[in-house]
Structure 1
Amino acid sequence: MRICWVTPFVLRSSIGRVSAAVTAALASQGHQVEILRCEDRDDPAEPLHPTALPVRHWREVDLGSLGAAFDVVIVNIGDNYPFHAGALAILDAAPCLGIFHDFYIYNLFSGWLHHNGLDYRRHDAEIVATYGLEAEPDAVAVRSGQMLDMGEIADKLPMTEWLARRCEAALAHAGFYAPRLEAACAGPVAVTPLCCPDRATPPGAPTTKARLTITTVGVMNPNKRVADVIRAIGGSDALKTCAYRLVGPISDEERARLEAVAAEVGFANLVIDGAVDDETLDQRLAEADIICALRKPVLEGASGSACEGMLSGRPTVVARAGFYGELPDDLVFKVDGEIVVDEIRSVLERLAGDAALRRKTGAAARAWALETLNAERYAQAVEALAKAQLTSRPLLAIGERIGHELRGFGLAESDPSATRIGATLQKLFAPIDG
C-alpha cells in the first residue's frame, strides 16, 4: 500500500517517537510510506525524530491530491493544537484513518477555534452538531467557565466524536472509548494497544542503594495526582525515607504547589528534575524502583509513561480507570479511580517492603509489554484496519447514497427497513475469504 502517515514529528513529540517506529515497521513489510508532519509551524530549529523515510510538512503539500497519491492517509490525533493543526485540514481534504491517541480532545477543539478566530457561536454550533441540541446548555457552561472540572467535560463533551465523524476508519488504544468512535465513524473501528518502543533502560531492579526511589514520568499537571502521592508517602513512616522523583516538564506554579505539599506533610525527599533529554530519562528509569502513573481524570487513550514503566521491568502503580483499568490485573498495581491517598500509601508500602514482589511483577510486566507493545504488532493492526477501510469504501458510498434517498422519503433512521438494508449491504460487500 501507498501510505501517507500524518503525525507531529518534532523530537519532543511522544506521538512522533511512536510514529518513527511504526512507519519503519510498515516500510519493512513492503509498504511505501511517507511521513507528513502536521505541526502548525515548520520550525527549522526543531530537531526531528530520525527516520530513513521521506518527510514533508503539510504546508508544503497540495492536500487535495492526497486521496489520489496514496491508498490510505493515516492521521494521528492528539489533544494539542500546535502539534496537530495540519491534521484538521487533512481530515477535510482526503478520506482518512484516524488514530485517536487521546479520547479527550476538547483542548484541540478549543485551540482550533482560537487559532481560526472563531467565536462562541461556532463553539456552541460544533458541539450541538456533534452531540445534539440537548448538549447546548453544556456548551454554554464550559465556554463561560461554569463547567471547569476536566472530568465533567471529559464525561459530557470530550469532542472525540467531533473528529471521528470526519474519519473513514478509526483506531483506539483501549476499549473504554471505542464506543464513541463507533457511534460517530461510519467505517470500521478497531482497538489495539499503543506501540511503545523499548528504551535503553536496564530491565529489572536497580543495583543495591541506600534509598528506594519512586518515580513519576511525564508532564507534571494536576491530573497526574502527584500531590496525592506526596501525601501518601509523607504520611507513612515506612515510606518517608524513600525518594520521590518527578521527571518531565513542569510549570513554576506546579513546582511551587508540589513543594508546598511536601513541606506540609514533612516529606524532605522530593526531587523535581523537570524536562530532561532521552539519555537522562533512560538513567532516571534505571534508577527507579517503583513507577507511579496515576491519572484523574483519565484523558488519554493510552499512557506512554505507564507502558514505559512496564517495559523497564519496574512495578507500576495505576488507577483502575480508562486505559489503565484495562491493563492485566496481575502485571500492574491498581488503586481506585477516585485516587484515595490511604490506598496509594498501602500499595506503596507493600511494594517498598517486598523486593521479590517488585522483581517478579516487573519481569512479568516487561515480558508482556515486549510482546504486546512492539512496533511490528502495531503495524500489523494498522495494516489490517487500513485494508478493512479500503474494502468498506464502496459499501459506505452506496450506503450514503441510499440513506440520502431514504431521508428524501421521510424514513426515520430508526425504521426497521433501514436496519435490513444495512445488513444486506454488509453481506453484499463482505470480504471474500482466501
Structure 2
Amino acid sequence: MRRIFWFSPVPPSRTDIANYSNRLFKYLNDLVDLVVLCPDGTECDADAYGVKIRRISSVTSLELNGADVCIYNIGNNADFHSQIFEMLTLHPGVAILHDKCLLEFFLGYLGLNNGTAISALDLRVSMGQWYGGEGLRKAVDLLKGHESASAVAERFPLYEIIADRSLAVICHNDEIFDEIRNKYPFFPVKFLSLPYPSLGDLGCPSLQTGKVKFVAFGFMGGNRRLREFLAAWAESRWKHNFELDIAGVLESVDDLKRELATLGLAEQVRLHGFLSEEQLNALIRDSHLAINLRYPTMGEASGSQLRIWYNGKASIVTDVGWYSRLPDDAVIKISPDKEHESLLDLFELLANGKIDLVRMGCAGAEHLKAHCPRQYAIDLVDWLFQNKYKFINEWSRRRALARIAAVQGEVSDLDVIMPSSKIG
C-alpha cells in the first residue's frame, strides 16, 4: 500500500493546523498507509486519532526514503513548524502552504534555532534573490531590529524559500495559487479548498432576543483588529446593546482588561481563555455574530471562518485577500480603509435589527459543503500519485540549474563551465 509521511502538529496543540490535520486523518488513512510525524516537544495524544503518530526525531532516513511521498505542513508559527521546515530541507517533499506570509516564521526560526537549516546570511541572500536590492536592504533592517516583520510581511512574504525546497506546493488560498502559477509557471502547485465537515443535522440555530452577542476566538494578535473593534464599539451610541465573548490566546490579558475598563466595556466582555473544540463550538453557537477581522492578512485561508459556518453563524471579515472572495450572503465585509466608520455603521444596523443574521448563518453553512474533508483527501492523493515523478523530475532540473548558477557566481570566465567550441 502507498505510504505517506505527514508532518504536522496534532491536537491538543494550540494551532488550527493541528485541527486541520485531524479532520483529514480518517479519510487519508482509508486511502494510504498514513504515518503522522508531529514535532518534538509539542502536545500529542498518540492513541487518539486512529492513525500511527510518532515524533519527528524517531524517523530514520531509511524510512523516509521508503515512503512514496512526504508532506510537510508549513505555517507561520516557529514553535510548531521549525522542525518540520528542517525536515523539508533535509528530505524534499510536498509542502502544504497554510500561510503565504512566512517572514515572521523565518525570523522566529532564527531566534529559536540559531540558523540550523537557514542562517541570517541565508535570509539576506533569499530576500535579495526574490525581491532584489530593496529586499536585501529590508532583510538587514529586520535582522537589526529596525523594522517589524508584521509591517513588511505582506510585501516580502518569503514563501519562495519553502517552494524552492519542495517538490510541489499545495495552497488553500486561490489568490496565492494564481500568484505562484503566474510567477513560476513551471512550478507544480495545486489549489484545494480548506477542508471542514458540513453542518450535518445540527441545523441553523435561532437567535435569542436581547443584546447582540459577538464572539472572537483564536490567537488574538495585532492583525485580528480586536482593539480597533473595541474602540469603535466604545464610540457607538449603541454600545450598551452588545456583548462580547473572547476565547483563545491574548497577547496581554492585563493590558486588555485595563483597556476595557478605560473604554467602559468591562461589564460587557467575557474572557474565556483557551477552550476545547466542544466548548468553543458551543460558545460560537450561543452567539449572534463572529468577529474574524484580519489586517494585514498573512495570506491564510481561515479555518476559523469555516468553524463559524459549521456552527451556523455569520461573521465580520476584512475585505482583503482570501476573505474578499467569500460569498457576500454569508459574511459582512469591512473595508480596511474605512474600518472605523464601517464598524460604527454596522453597530447601528445590528442594534436596529437591520441585518438578517440567521439567513446569513444558514448561507454560510450551505457554502461549507464545498469544503468536504473526504473529497479533499481523495483529490490530494490522486494529484500526488498522478504527478509524483513529474514533481521529482522538475525538482531535479531546478537543483541542477541552482548548481550551475552557484558555479557561475564563483568564476569570472564562463568558458570554465561551458568550454568554447573553438579549436586551436
Give TM-score scaled by structure 1 length. Answer: 0.83
Structure-to-structure mapping, 1:293-304, within 5 angstroms: 293-304=292-303
Residues 239 and 349, structure 1, Cα contact 8 Å, conserved in 2 = no
- Cα distance in 1 for partners of 2:346, 2:159 equals 33
Match of 1:266 in 2: 264
Q: Could you tell me how far apart the structure 2 residues matched to 1:326 and 1:205 are?
A: 25
Q: Do residues 375 (structure 1) and 377 (structure 2) align?
A: no
Query: Which runs of 5 or more residues in structure 2 are unaligned?
Result: 409-424
Displacement of 1:353 in angstroms is 3.4
Q: Which letter maps to 1:282?
A: N
What is the rounded CA distance, in whole Å, between the counterparts of 2:111 and 2:187 in structure 1? Answer: 30
- Say if 1:310 and 1:394 are closer, same or farther in 2 by CA, change over 3 A: closer
- Percent identical across equivalent pairs? 21
Aligned twin of 2:326: 327
Contact residue 171 and residue 190 of structure 2 kept, 8 A: yes
- The corresponding residue for 2:5 is 4
Find the aligned partners of 1:235 and 1:132 in 2 and give their Cα distance.
44
How far apart in 2 are the matches of 1:113 and 1:316? 36
Q: CA deviation at 1:115?
A: 2.9
Q: Which residue, out of 394, 397, 404, partners 1:396?
A: 394
| Count, aligned residues | 401
Query: What does residue 421 of structure 2 align with?
Result: none
Write out per-residue CA displacement over residues 245-280 of structure 1, whole angstroms, 9 at most, x where no aligned residue.
Answer: 1111124x3x33333443344334122222222232
Q: Which moved more, 1:219-228 or 1:121-130?
A: 121-130
**Is the 8 Å Cα contact of residues 46 and 54 (structure 2) preserved in structure 1?**
no
Give 3-state SS (helix, strand or coil) of 1:246's partner: strand
Question: Structure 2 vs 1, CA of residues 75 and 339 (structure 1 numbering), >3 Å: closer, same or farther?
Answer: farther
* Structure 1 position 330, deviation (Å): 2.2
Which residue does the alignment assign to 1:414? none
Deviation at 1:296, TM superposition (A): 0.9
Which SS does the other structure have where 2:81 is aligned?
Answer: helix
Give the residue type in structure 1 aligned to 2:60: D
What amino acid is aligned across from residue 364 of structure 1 in structure 2?
A: A
Equivalent residues of 1:5, 1:23 under 8 A apart? no
Is 1:310 the counterpart of 2:309? The answer is: yes
1:189 corresponding residue in structure 2 = 189
Matched, 1:79 2:84: no
**Matching of residues 172-211 of structure 1 within 5 Å:** 172-179=171-178, 181-182=180-181, 183=183, 187-197=187-197, 202-206=202-206, 208-211=208-211
Structure 1 position 204, deviation (Å): 2.5
Q: Which amino acid aligns with 1:240?
A: H
Q: Is the 8 A contact 2:46 2:52 kept in 1?
A: no
SS at match of 2:70: strand
Secondary structure of 1:271's counterpart equals strand
After TM superposition, give the deviation of residue 324 of structure 1 in Å: 0.9
Q: Measure how far apart 1:345 and its partner are.
A: 2.5
How many Å separate the matches in 1 of 2:287 and 2:156?
Answer: 37
* Change beyond 3 A, Cα 1:338–1:64: farther
Deviation of 1:320 (Å): 0.6
8 Å Cα contact 1:206/1:287 also seen in 2: no
**3-state SS of the aligned residue for 1:376?**
helix
Q: Does 1:249 align with 2:246?
A: no
* Cα distance between partner residues in 1 of 2:23 and 2:179: 28
Give 1:114's aligned residue.
111
Describe how 1:14-413 pairs up with structure 2 within 5 A.
14-28=16-30, 30-37=31-38, 39-41=39-41, 46-47=44-45, 50-63=48-61, 65-66=63-64, 68-118=65-115, 120-148=120-148, 150=150, 152-179=151-178, 181-182=180-181, 183=183, 187-197=187-197, 202-206=202-206, 208-251=208-251, 253=252, 255-267=253-265, 268-338=267-337, 340-354=339-353, 357-369=356-368, 371-393=369-391, 395-396=393-394, 399-400=397-398
- Alignment deviations for residues 69-123 of structure 1 (CA, whole Å, 9 cap, x no partner): 2212111101112211221222123331110111122232123222332464444
Distance 1:59 1:172 in 2: 27
CA distance in 2, matches of 1:309, 1:58: 32
Specify the code of the residue in structure 2 equivalent to 1:372: A
Give distance in 2, aligned partners of 1:124 and 1:348. 46
User: Is the 1:74–1:99 Cα contact (8 Å) retained in structure 2?
Assistant: yes
Cα root mean square deviation, aligned: 3.0
Q: Secondary structure at the match of 2:300?
A: coil
Structure 1: runs of 5+ lacking an equivalent:
411-434
Letter in 2 for 1:53: V
Contact 1:317/1:333 (8 A) holds in 2? yes
1:139-187 Cα shifts (integer Å, max 9, x gaps): 011222222261x321332221111111111111112323554446964
**In the alignment, residue 145 of structure 1 is paired with which amino acid?**
G
| Contact 1:234/1:262 (8 A) holds in 2 | no
**Contact preservation (8 Å) 1:296, 1:338:** no
Q: How many angstroms does 1:196 deviate by? A: 2.7
CA contact (8 A) 1:9 1:48 kept: no
Does the 8 Å contact 1:233/1:239 carry over to 2? Answer: yes
1:8–1:83 contact (8 Å) kept in structure 2: yes
CA distance in 2, matches of 1:156, 1:295: 16
For the Cα contact (< 8 Å) 1:3–1:33, is it kept in 2? yes
Q: 1:396 to 1:300 in 2, by over 3 A?
A: closer
The change in CA–CA distance for 1:34 and 1:339 in structure 2 (over 3 A counts) is: farther
Tell me which amino acid in the other structure corresponds to 1:177. Answer: I
